[in-house]
Structures are given as C-alpha cells and as structure tokens.
Amino acid sequence: MQQVQDTAEEWQVVASATPFTGNKTSVRTDKVVMPDGTVVNRDYQVHPGSVAVLALDERDRVVVLRQYRHPVRQKLWEIPAGLLDVPGENPLHAAQRELYEEAHVKAGDWRVLTDVYTTPGGCDEAVRIFLARDLSEAEGARFEVAEEEADMELARVPVEELVRGVLAGELHNNCLVVGVLSLAAARATADGLDSLRPAEAPWPARPFQP
C-alpha cells in the first residue's frame, strides 16, 4: 500500500523577480522548468508563516474572536493567530504571544494540533495550529490593540457548536475550520488527544531552534 505523505521536492528556477514588496508579505515571480523542459512563470505571495491557537477551556469551549477582514468584506469568527515575527522564531513562543495579545489568556498545556499550507497554489504561507489547554487569565495589563483589532469581539463557544457551524457553512476562517475539525478528528482516534505531537515538534516548513 502506498504511503500517503507529502514529500519535499524543488523544480529548477532559472530566474526570479519580486515585483511587489509590502509591509509583511511580497509577491515573487519565478521562471520554473517543467518536467517536459518548458519554462513557465509562477506568481505567488511570499509569507513569513503563521501560528494559530485553539484554546480549549475546562467547559469544552473554544476562545474565539470576531474580526473584520477587508479582502473578503466580512467579520469572521476566528481563533487567536498571528505572524512569525522573525525568521526562525520558535512557533510555540509566537503562539503564546498571540494568545496573550488577542485574548489575554495563558495556557499550561500545549500540543501541536496540525500543520497546514493555507493556499499552496498561490502562497507559501505555512501555519502551525496549536491546541492549548489548562487556561487562565494572563497577568498584567491587556495588550493595546489598534486598527481592525480595536473592534474585535471575544467569546467562548462550545466545540460542538463550532463543528455545527463549520459543517453548516456558517464559519469560514481557515484556522478555525481546520483547528476545530482536527480537534474532533483527534478525539475520534484510539489514543484521543494523547495522539497529538508535543508543542516543540519539528516543523520542516518553518525550521526553528527549540
């Protein structure tokens, strides 16, 4: 039986240009040699990588926030998430920071829930989604937010209700959808949440120092 597993591979790039550089991401055009020898242009967004946190409390509720997302012209329910600030940043540290900044929460138990490429046909963004448990309020003052984050709403919603909303087509944020369904899938395995990888598990898409 064939093993179903993604593998590393890199086709030859004979030229590369960056026609746009933004504040956090850029757009790159690569001339890529196809298997038949033809050369084609591939345009894609270059992204530093992200982390997201499915924070689960003792009542089986997930910490979620509602935020305006201009590209899709919607307010979306999401889980706390953010960019890796510097190349090689430890994703666990980034996740802990985002949970504090967006929800003013800390967690005593961390696991890797899943790793995904959000849109691999047009962007190299890689996201590590953590499961955080043993929640408590963070110490100190709340992080000062601005722009879209200034209008955020916070809530705690039962896992069952989020799963229902995902399957009903009512919730669309990538990290929330993947995180919630991954949690449900992990619970359905023989080992349950014990099957999840440790928080410092290697991440080939964005290598880091523990």
Cβ-proximal residues to 190 (8 Å cutoff; 6+ apart), any chain: none
Annotated active-site residue 10? The verdict is no
SS3 92: helix
Q: 88 and 123 in contact (C-beta within 8 Å)?
A: no
What is the CB neighbour count within 10 angstroms for residue 199? 20
- Amino acid in the structure at residue 196: L
- Cα(39)–Cα(90) distance, rounded to whole angstroms? 37
What is the CB neighbour count within 10 angstroms for residue 129? 26
| Catalytic pick among 78, 149, 170, 200 | 149
Q: What is the DSSP string of 149-181?
A: GGG-EEEEEEHHHHHHHHHTT----HHHHHHHH
Tell me which residues are annotated as active site.
149
